Structure 1
Amino acid sequence: MFHLSKQELQKGLAGHTAQEIYQQPEVWKESLSIFEERKEEIYNFLNSIYIKHEKVRVILTGAGTSAFAGDILVPELQKQDQGNIQFEAIATTDIVSNPTNYLFKDTPTILVSFARSGNSPESLAAVKLATDIIDHFYQVNITCNPQGKLVINTKNNENSLTILTPEKAHDQGFAMTSSFTSMMVICYLVFSKDATANEKLQTVIANGERLVEDLVSAIEEVLSHDMERIVYLGSGSLGQFAHEAALKMLELSAGKVVAVHESSLGFRHGPKSILNDKSIVVLFMSQDAYTRKYDMDMLKELSGEPKDIKTVVLTETADEEIKKYANWAVVVNSSKQLLGNDFYLSLLYALFVQTLALKKSIQLGITPDNPSPDGSVNRVVQGVTIYPI
C-alpha cells in the first residue's frame, strides 16, 4: 500500500493513516448506501422545517478540517438552491468566540455539525449557544462516533437528526482523512438538488479505486524535489479545499514543511512572496471552463518564474496545455463521464494531497499516525475553556 514497508504499515506508525486514506472509495460507497437507506427519513425531517418557515438558514460548522468541509460545500449547495434556504459555513471556533455575530434570535436555523469524535468542546458549546439564542433551532449531526456527546445530547430530540458515517470512517490516525470526505459526501447528498448525484458519485468511486493504486508513483517523483515550502491554489470551492490540503501537510509534517493556501487570483496579491527555489505549487484546476481560465493564467505565470519553482496540476481530464506548463500533471478522471462540479473533484483531489502529506511525513522521519508525540496538538482538541455568555 503506497509503496510502504511492513514496518511502516504497523498501526501507530503510518498504518492507521495509510489505511484510512486508501479505503476512502469504499467508504464513499458505504456513505452512499447509508444515505439511500435513510433518505425518506432525512427528507421528511428537512421538509417539516422548510414548510414552517419562509426562509431557513443552514449553517455548516465544525473546527479545523470539519470547518473546511463546510467551506468547500457551501458554494456548490448555494448555487444549486437559490430559494428559501441560505447556506453558510461558519467555524465553531468563530461561533463560540463571537456568538452574537453569527447566531440570530429571530432567524430559523439548522446547524449542521461535522464531527469526527463529537466531543470537541467548541462543537458542544456552539450547539449550546445556538439553543439558548435562536428561537427556532434545529440540528443535523454528521459524525463518526455514535458514543460522542454530540449524539448522546440530542437523543430523543425531535428537532435534531443524527447521521453516522460508516464505522471505518472514524479515523484512528491523527489527521482526518476518511472522516473528512465521508462527512462531505453525506452532507452533499442530504442538501444537494443534483438529480445525478448517485451516478456521479459512482464515477468518483470508480476513479478513486484507480487513483489509490496509481497516485503513489507521481507523488514519489514530486517528493524527489528538495521541498521546504508548498503552496496549494484553487478557485471557488477548490480555493477552500486548498485550505484543507495545506493543513494536511502542516499536520503530518509536524510543521517542518511550510504549507500555505490561497485562491488562484488572490495569490498575486502578496502571498506569492513566499516562493523560493525550494517551493512546490500544487494547483487544483477547476472543471468550469470560465474559472479554469484564471487557474491556467496562474500556471503560465508560475512557469515563467526565474526561481526554480516546481508545479503540480491536478485536473479532471488530460490537457495538452497543462502538460506544456506544469512539471507534473495528475489526471483524476479516466472515465467518459464528466463530473460536472468542483465538489466531486475535491474528493479525488483529496486522495492526492493526503497521500502526498503521508509520504512526506515518512520521508522526514515523522510518525504519521502520531506526528505530534509531545502533545502540542491532539486528535481531539484539549485546553479549551468555554466561558458563559
Structure 2
Amino acid sequence: MSYLHFEQGEIKEKGGLNTAMEIEGQPALWQEIYDLILSQKDAIRDFLSPILSNADARIILTGAGSSAFIGEAIAGIVQANTKRMTHAIATTDIITHPHLHFIKEIPTLLFSFARSGNSPESLAVVEQANTYCNTVFHFIITCNKAGALVQSRFPNTYHLILPESANDKGLAMTSSFTGMLLAAILVIKSDIIASLKPALDVLITEGNELLEKYLPQIKAVAEKPYRRVIFLGSGEMLGIARECHLKLQELTDGKVICKHDSFLGFRHGPRAVINEDSLIVYLFSKDEYVFQYERDLCLSIEADTRKIPTLSYNRQLSDLKKSVLEITFSTPADAPNDLAFIGTVLIGQLLGFYRSLSLGLRPDTPSVSGSISRVVQGVTIYTGLVPS
C-alpha cells in the first residue's frame, strides 16, 4: 500500500494511518466479502425464503448515520430484486416514532446495518420491531463480532459478521460503509451471486484505478480553500452523495460545510446554497437515460456568471470549462457495472482525508471538541411512554 502517498511513519505522526489504510484497503475487502457471502449463500437463502416468499412482506433497511445512508442508497435495488415494498428508515427516526413505521399485521424483514453494533438506537429498534410486529425477521450486517447486536440473541435473526478489516478504527466510516453496502446487495442477490463476479471485478478494478491514478489530483483539489462542497447524485448515487457529504464534513470537523441532493432536486431551491467559495461534485450515472437529466443541470450551472468550479466522477464533459478534475475509468462501456456505484464514495472519503490533513486535523480523530465519536455517546433509550 502507498498509504495515500505518505510515508507510513509520517502519516502515523499526522494521526491518519488508520483512516488511510482503511480507505486503501477497500478493494481487497470487497473480494473478501464476496467470498464470505458466497460461502454462506445456502444458509442465507434458507433464512430469507420464509419471509420473502410472503407476498405481503415488507423490508425495512435501518441504521444510524452512515449506516442509515446504506439503506438510502440501495432501497430501490432491494425492492426491484425482491419485489417487496422496501423502505429505508433511520434508527434515529424509528426510535421516537415506532408506531408510525412498523405495521403490526404486516410481516417485516428488518435489515440492521451497524459498524460497532453498540449504538443504543440499533439494539432498541430491534427490540421495538419485536414488539410492534406480529412477524419479524432480523438480518443484521455488522463489522463487530463482539457488538451488542451480535451478543444479544433474538429469535428469527441472521448475523452476517464482516471481516475484521471492515471494522474501522478511525472515527469516520470508510471500509465499513462500502463493506456493508456491498454485503447487503450480495445478500439480496445471493441466489445469483456467482453471476455477479464480473461486476465485482469491475468494482475492484475501478477502485484500484482511482487509488493508483488520481490521488495527486484529488489531494490538490482537497487543498483548495473551498468553504462549501455540494455532492449531486441520482438514484443509488443520491445515497452515495449523502455519505460523501458526511465524510468531508466529518473529517474536517465541520470546517467545510457540505450539502447533497439529486441533480433534478437541486434545481428546486437547494441551488441557492452555491457561491464563489463552493465546489460542486458531480457523481454521474453510467446510465445514458439518467445522464441526460444530469447533463442538463450541469450545463445550467456552467452558465452561472459566478464561474462555480466543478469536479466530475464517471464522465468527462468538454462543455464544463470550469471543471477542476474529471475522473474516468478504463472500464469498457459494455462491462457489467451493477456494483460500480459503490466505489464512488471513495471520492468523498479522499477529499475528506486530504482536506483534514491540510487543515492540521488528525483524520483518525478529527473532532477537536470531542463532540462526535466513533460510537455515539449520550443517548438514553426511554421506555414505557411510547405511543401505541
Scaled to the shorter chain, the TM-score interval is over 0.9
2:288: which partner in 1? 289
2:49 pairs with 42, 47, 50, which one?
47
| Cα offset, 1:127, TM superposition | 0.6
2:310: which partner in 1? 311
Matched, 1:384 2:383: no
1:30: which partner in 2? 32
d(CA) in 2 for partners of 1:153, 1:56:
25
8 Å CA contact retained: 2:114, 2:143: yes
**Number of residue equivalences:** 380
- Listed as ranges, the matches of 1:177-196 within 5 Å are 177-192=174-189, 196=195
Q: Which moved more, 1:215-224 or 1:160-169?
A: 215-224
Seen in structure 2, the aligned counterparts of structure 1 residues 333 and 102 have a Cα distance that, compared at 3 Å, is farther
d(CA) in 1 for partners of 2:180, 2:222:
29
8 Å CA contact retained: 1:314, 1:332: no
Task: Name the amino acid aligned to 1:136.
Answer: T
1:171: which partner in 2? 168
8 Å CA contact retained: 2:222, 2:352: no
1:19 pairs with 12, 18, 21, which one?
21
Seen in structure 2, the aligned counterparts of structure 1 residues 320 and 99 have a Cα distance that, compared at 3 Å, is closer
Seen in structure 2, the aligned counterparts of structure 1 residues 372 and 226 have a Cα distance that, compared at 3 Å, is closer
- Listed as ranges, the matches of 1:30-179 within 5 Å are 30-51=32-53, 53-82=54-83, 85-154=84-153, 157-179=154-176
| Cα offset, 1:31, TM superposition | 0.2
1:232: which partner in 2? 231
Identity of aligned residues (%): 37
8 Å CA contact retained: 1:203, 1:335: no
Query: Where in structure 1 are there 5+ consecutive unaligned residues?
Result: none
d(CA) in 1 for partners of 2:316, 2:223:
24
| Cα offset, 1:111, TM superposition | 0.8
3-state SS of paired residue (1:147): coil
3-state SS of paired residue (2:180): helix
| Cα offset, 1:352, TM superposition | 1.6
3-state SS of paired residue (2:140): strand
What do residues 339-379 of structure 1 show as CA deviations (whole Å, max 9, x unaligned)? Answer: 344xx233221122111110000011111100114221111
8 Å CA contact retained: 2:68, 2:90: yes
d(CA) in 2 for partners of 1:164, 1:347:
19
| Cα offset, 1:282, TM superposition | 0.1
Seen in structure 2, the aligned counterparts of structure 1 residues 8 and 269 have a Cα distance that, compared at 3 Å, is farther
- Listed as ranges, the matches of 1:197-236 within 5 Å are 197-236=196-235
| Cα offset, 1:70, TM superposition | 0.6
- Listed as ranges, the matches of 1:361-376 within 5 Å are 361-376=356-371
TM-score by length of 2: 0.93
Matched, 1:243 2:242: yes
d(CA) in 2 for partners of 1:168, 1:27:
7
| Cα offset, 1:158, TM superposition | 4.9
d(CA) in 2 for partners of 1:11, 1:349:
28
- Listed as ranges, the matches of 1:261-340 within 5 Å are 261-315=260-314, 319-321=316-318, 326-335=323-332, 337-340=334-337
d(CA) in 2 for partners of 1:319, 1:311:
11
8 Å CA contact retained: 1:286, 1:292: yes
Structure 1 vs Structure 2 CA RMSD: 1.8
Seen in structure 2, the aligned counterparts of structure 1 residues 215 and 319 have a Cα distance that, compared at 3 Å, is closer
d(CA) in 2 for partners of 1:146, 1:250:
29
Query: Where in structure 2 are there 5+ consecutive unaligned residues?
Result: none
TM-score by length of 1: 0.93
8 Å CA contact retained: 2:244, 2:348: yes
| Cα offset, 1:27, TM superposition | 0.4
What do residues 158-204 of structure 1 show as CA deviations (whole Å, max 9, x unaligned)? Answer: 51000011111100000000000011111101113766322201221
Q: Which moved more, 1:70-79 or 1:118-127?
A: 70-79
| Cα offset, 1:122, TM superposition | 0.5
Task: Name the amino acid aligned to 1:126.
Answer: V
Seen in structure 2, the aligned counterparts of structure 1 residues 20 and 145 have a Cα distance that, compared at 3 Å, is same
3-state SS of paired residue (1:9): helix
d(CA) in 2 for partners of 1:340, 1:161:
28
8 Å CA contact retained: 1:144, 1:166: yes
d(CA) in 2 for partners of 1:142, 1:322:
43
3-state SS of paired residue (1:76): helix
